């Protein structure tokens, strides 16, 4: 699929367009959703990233947490490093939201840390549900 090729070469805008079309044809495809979330973040479509992430995690959190970033060519660690290179302040909702989402692919505890930093009322109820879900996952995994 062309969207995957664009994704693997970090052409996120092109990948987003292709993956959106692919998702319309196959709306239950979790692999497409997982990559599209990252594309939304990298192209500044944070609300869409969050909504897609929330829906996917609500149905199957382990699909995200069981990601093998090396095998799947996931750029999460690089994006996280890029975002964390500059100071993260409480007022930077999009940056915090992006880090919370991306960290779930790699480390649920860091994901919780960033979700707890979010002060935006827009996401409050869903964030609390996500934190509870991630905490439950962590407690049953350890």
The domains of the chain, with CATH numbers, are 2-141 (1.25.40)
Burial 65-81 (b: 16+ CB within 10 A, else e): bebeeeebebbbeebbe
Model confidence at 142, in pLDDT bands (50, 70, 90)? low
User: Averaged over 95-99, what is the pLDDT?
Assistant: 96
Are 105 and 69 in contact, with CB atoms under 8 Å apart? Answer: yes
pLDDT digits (tens, 9 = 90+) for 18-43: 999 999 999 999 999 999 999 999 99
| Distance separating the N- and C-terminal Cα atoms of the chain | 37
pLDDT at 135: 94
pLDDT tens per residue, range 42-74: 999 999 999 999 999 999 999 999 988 778 888
pLDDT value for 89: 85
Confidence of residue 91 (pLDDT cuts 50, 70, 90): confident
- Is the model's pTM score more than 0.85? yes
What is the pLDDT averaged over residues 89-94? 88
Mean pLDDT of the chain: 93
């Amino acid at each position: 699929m062309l969207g995957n090729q664009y994704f693997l070469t970090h052409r996120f805008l092109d990948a987003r367009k292709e993956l959106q079309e692919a998702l319309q044809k196959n709306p239950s495809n979790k692999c497409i959703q997982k990559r599209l979330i990252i594309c939304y973040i990298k192209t500044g479509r944070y609300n869409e990233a969050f909504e897609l992430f929330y829906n996917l995690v609500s149905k199957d959190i382990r699909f995200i947490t069981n990601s093998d970033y090396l095998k799947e060519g996931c750029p999460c660690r690089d994006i996280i490093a890029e975002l964390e290179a500059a100071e993260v302040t409480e007022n930077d909702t999009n940056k915090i939201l992006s880090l919370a989402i991306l960290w779930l692919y790699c480390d649920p505890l860091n994901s919780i840390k960033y979700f707890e930093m979010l002060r935006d009322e827009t996401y409050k109820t869903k964030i609390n549900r996500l934190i509870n879900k991630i905490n439950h996952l962590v407690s049953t995994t350890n």
